[in-house]
Amino acid sequence: MLYNQTLSVVLTVVLLYLSGQASGVWRQRCGKSQTGTRIIGGETAVNGKWPWMAHIEFCPDQGRCYNCGGSLISDQWILTAAHCVIDKKGAIINKITANFSNYDFTYDEWNVNTFQVKQPIVHWLYKNYTLDDIALLELSEPLDLNGMGIEPICLPPADLPRPVGTQCVATGWGDTIGNIISPSKTLQQVTLPIANADLCANR
């Protein structure tokens, strides 16, 4: 428990630090597109439109590797879902790579922008996909963002209003045909409205 609490403190400090950075140096370049879980009913994204998207591969000690998406929030940190980082036995997966080729992971050039993750940090209150489903991934080294077509996403302020019905964009390489396991080979995007808390709690 002490270990998890320590990780939680680290996660909070990192997010606060990066949020502070977002008002300075990162604010000058974050959230700028190069073009200006499931993605059901979506469409293929334009290459380079979401330059902070990371295609992350998790390889547990036992079983097959699997993929999740994440968002680059600085030159060395990725924000992702905690359920991606935890294996079936509840242990944190440490063999993780992140790729920023940002579009089609079937190309031979895919390995060019692949980086090792130094350590994952999972929110200590996370449990069963519901509350606090958040984790940070620290890359083994800072990225050189100049000329790579990679940009960090902006971290919103904690008090940012999120009215029900506000249209948002979800992106990823997830399943595209309902309950059928059909991960997309190219980055997908879909526009979704923010749902109210009661509706989310009943799903």
pLDDT in tens, 49-75: 888 999 999 998 877 888 889 999 999
- Let me know how long the chain is: 203
pLDDT of residue 192: 87
Range scoring the smallest mean pLDDT among 16-25, 118-127, 142-151, 192-201: 16-25
How do residues 162-188 score in pLDDT, each as one tens digit?
Answer: 889 988 888 888 766 655 456 677 888
Percent of the chain with pLDDT over 90: 24
Neighbours of 93 (CB within 10 A): 18
If phi > 0 it is left, if psi is from -120 to 50 it is alpha, else beta; for residue 93 that is beta
Mean pLDDT of 114-141: 90
Give the tokens for residue 62. 């036992």
How far is residue 28 CA from its own chain's centroid? 21
CA-CA-CA-CA torsion sign (167, 68, 176, 46)? positive
Mean pLDDT of 123-147: 87
CATH assignment, 2-201 = 2.40.10.10
pLDDT of residue 78: 96
Q: On the CB side of 136, how many CA atoms lie within 13 Å of its CA?
A: 21
pLDDT of 17 > 50? The answer is: no
> pTM of the predicted model, to two decimals?
0.76
Mean pLDDT of 38-58: 75
For residue 138, give the 3-state DSSP assignment. Answer: strand
pLDDT of 110 > 60? The answer is: no
Mean pLDDT of 109-124: 82
pLDDT of residue 27: 54
CA distances (Å), 87 to each of 10, 78, 129, 183, in order? 21, 19, 12, 19
Residue-range domain boundaries for the chain: 2-201
CB-neighbour burial class of residue 200 (10 A; exposed 0-12, middle 13-18, buried 19+) = exposed
End-to-end CA distance of the chain: 29
pLDDT of residue 71: 94
pLDDT of residue 200: 76
CA distances (Å), 194 to each of 165, 168, 170, 188, 198, in order? 5, 7, 11, 19, 12
Average pLDDT, the chain: 76
pLDDT of residue 34: 55
Residues in a beta bridge with 119:
138
2 pLDDT band, cuts 50/70/90, is very low
